[in-house]
Amino acid sequence: MAQAHDIFGEPLRPENGAEHVTTRTLRERLAKPGDAPHKHLGEAETLAIISCRSLQSIFVTDDTDVPSLAQEHGIKTVTTWDLLRLAGHVKYVDADTLWAYIQTLRDHGRGRPPRVHDRTSFDQWLTGDS
C-alpha cells in the first residue's frame, strides 16, 4: 500500500456538474433504506467518473450490487472472488491458502464465492467445475 500512489497516481474525483449529478443518481440506486448517507458513495463516484469520461477501465469491487449497475453503463467489473480464483489458477496461491483466505473473509462478514458452502464446493469453484 505504501507504493499505491506511485503505481496508480492521484485519485480521480468528480470534476463537473454532470459527474456530481451522475454520482448522486448512482448512489441512490445502490442505497438501501437505512444506509448511511455516504454508503456506496465511493462506488457511485467511481462509476460516474468512468461513465462520464468514457474511460476504458475495469472496476474491481466486492459490493454485490455494483456489477449489474456497472454493466448498464458498459463498465466491466471484476470481483474479489474473480481475483482470488485467478491467483489460484496462475499458482500465485495454493488451494489450501486460498481456502483459508475464503474462511477469513467469511468470518469477517465479507461473504463467500457464489455456490461455495464447504471445501468440496470451493474446490469445484476454484477449478471452474461449478
Residues 74 and 12 in one domain: yes
pLDDT score of 113 more than 60: yes
Q: How do residues 3-19 score in pLDDT, each as one tens digit?
A: 878 888 888 999 999 99
User: What's the grid cell of residue 20?
Assistant: 456530481
pLDDT at 6: 84
Q: How do residues 90-104 score in pLDDT, each as one tens digit?
A: 999 999 999 999 999
CA 29 → CA 35, 76, 109, distances in Å? 12, 18, 23
pLDDT score of 80 more than 90: no
What residues pair up with 60 in beta bridges, in sequence order?
78
* Beta carbons of 101 and 108 less than 8 angstroms apart: no
Range of the domain at 123: 93-127
Residues 55 and 108 in one domain: no
Rounded-to-integer distance, Cα 114 and Cα 95, Å: 17
The C-alpha R_g of the chain, in whole angstroms, comes to 17
Residues 18 and 67 in one domain: yes
Phi and psi, residue 61, nearest 5°: -150, 155
In a domain, 86, yes or no: no
Residues 38 and 100 in one domain: no
Residues 11 and 52 in one domain: yes
